[in-house]
Amino acid sequence: MANMAQAIRMALHYAEENLGVTDIFGEDVGAPLGGVFTCTQGLKTAWNSPLDERGIIGAAMGLAMAGHRPVAEIQFCDYIYNTIDLLKLVGNTHWSTNGDWSVPMVVRTPVGSGIRGSLYHSHSFDATMTHIPGWKVVMPSTPLDAYGLLISACQEPNPVMFLEPKALLRVKGDERIPGEPEDDRALSKMIDAPLGDRSQWKPQWPLVEAFAIPIGKGKLVREGTQATVISYGRTMPLCIKAAAQLEEEGLSVEVIDLRSLWPYDWEMIKASVQKTGRVLFVNEDTEVTNFGEHLVRRTVEELFYSLLAPPRLVAGKFVPGIGLADALEMASVPQQNDVTTALRNLCREQP
């Protein structure tokens, strides 16, 4: 099975061959590196930009408004914060021109903890990005979802922020990408650049197929009856493991992968909470003004009389950054035990 980095690479290849993507660019995105996480190796429209995040976003906006379809990369989301004013301009262009101008661009950026990246390579961006209207925002947790969401993003008439959980980029999926070869080693030989001299290397792309996951549609990962846990990105596998562990204790937990943060699948959330009466939201961004807090607020306002317990949130600590030491990183963002304990307590809470 492909890992998430390979899935993103194959989706971008499909998009430049079939969906009109014209420019895939960013710092070290082109040859010879093909991205610090190798997501852009071998792509024919990939090129290297200067080390200039504002230049990257500005160039993408200009290209998109000029009729191109760019996919820009900010190497780590920690460095996207100095482009917030530009992201706001991109997001409001279609609205402020009364629909006269569209901005068909995608911005990809790795987010979150999990690689011991310390202060400048571990931030999250989901809370900040969902504060900027005019963008669609997605964050996959599996290679197949990454492939399908990116193909959808590359067909949108207006901007999409594609958040890549860096801790999952090397994790293989349980479902095969359409057109991916059966042999994992064969896939690696076909599309992974060799170490050392790459000047003569060319990828041998598999015949990947169209597979678009609609933006705004969540995924029911596991059915349950006593509580619902809703997450995305790096913390999604933690929730799946917690539900499996609690099943052995006689507790039934429903698991939803949100996948899209804006628009998000409120109907799926609503149906699940009305069934279970209890809900836990989990992500690793800092807990103050967290995106999960918005979901908690809406759940209370619209589903109050369906609740058997107050909605809960497990999120990152409200600290300026994440330390390099293992103990500091693990104390700063949700870990397996945090999710399992919160779900166990929630399932046992009675009105």
CATH number at residue 98: 3.40.50.970
234 plus 168 within the same structural domain: no
Domain finish residue from 144, 176, 191: 191
228 plus 162 within the same structural domain: no
Does residue 13 contact residue 183 with C-beta atoms inside 8 Å? no
Q: What pLDDT was estimated at residue 281?
A: 98
- Tens digits of residue pLDDT in 75-101: 999 999 999 999 999 999 999 999 999
pLDDT at 197 over 90: no
Residue matched to tokens 């369906």: 306
Does residue 220 contact residue 268 with C-beta atoms inside 8 Å? yes
pLDDT at 170 over 90: yes
Q: Active-site residue among 13, 68, 94, 121?
A: 121
Domain membership flag for residue 200: no
Does residue 15 contact residue 146 with C-beta atoms inside 8 Å? no
Residue 250: which region, alpha, beta or left (left: phi > 0; alpha: psi -120 to 50)?
left
Please choose, from the candidates 329, 37, 71, the residue with its C-alpha nearest in 3D space to the C-alpha of residue 169. 37
pLDDT at 172 over 90: yes
Domain membership flag for residue 203: no
Domain finish residue from 176, 191, 206: 191
Contacts of 55 (CB under 8 A, 6+ apart): 49
* pTM reported for the whole predicted model: 0.97
Report the distance separating Cα 110 and Cα 117, nearest Å. 12
CA distances from 183 to 10, 42, 94 (A): 16, 20, 44
Residue 240 domain boundaries: 219-348
148 plus 248 within the same structural domain: no
Residue 121 appears among annotated catalytic residues: yes
112 plus 244 within the same structural domain: no
Exposure class string for 195-230: b at 16+ Cβ within 10 A, else e: eeeeeeeebebbebeebbbebbbbbebbebebbbbb
What integer is the mean pLDDT of 29-39? 96
Domain membership flag for residue 205: no
CATH number of the domain enclosing 278: 3.40.50.920
Domain membership flag for residue 202: no
Domain membership flag for residue 66: yes
66 plus 163 within the same structural domain: yes
179 plus 223 within the same structural domain: no
Cα 59 to the center of its chain, rounded Å: 23
Domain membership flag for residue 171: yes
15 plus 125 within the same structural domain: yes
99 plus 240 within the same structural domain: no
The dihedral through the CA atoms of 95, 99, 103, 108 has a sign that is: positive
pLDDT at 257 over 90: yes
Contacts of 298 (CB under 8 A, 6+ apart): 266
Helices and strands in the chain: count of H runs, count of E runs: 11, 12
Number of domains in the chain: 2
172 plus 63 within the same structural domain: yes
Residue matched to tokens 């409001």: 92
Report the distance separating Cα 308 and Cα 160, nearest Å. 36
Domain membership flag for residue 15: yes
Domain membership flag for residue 92: yes
130 plus 240 within the same structural domain: no
179 plus 297 within the same structural domain: no
pLDDT at 196 over 90: no
Contacts of 99 (CB under 8 A, 6+ apart): none
pLDDT at 199 over 90: no
Q: What pLDDT was estimated at residue 335?
A: 97
22 plus 124 within the same structural domain: yes
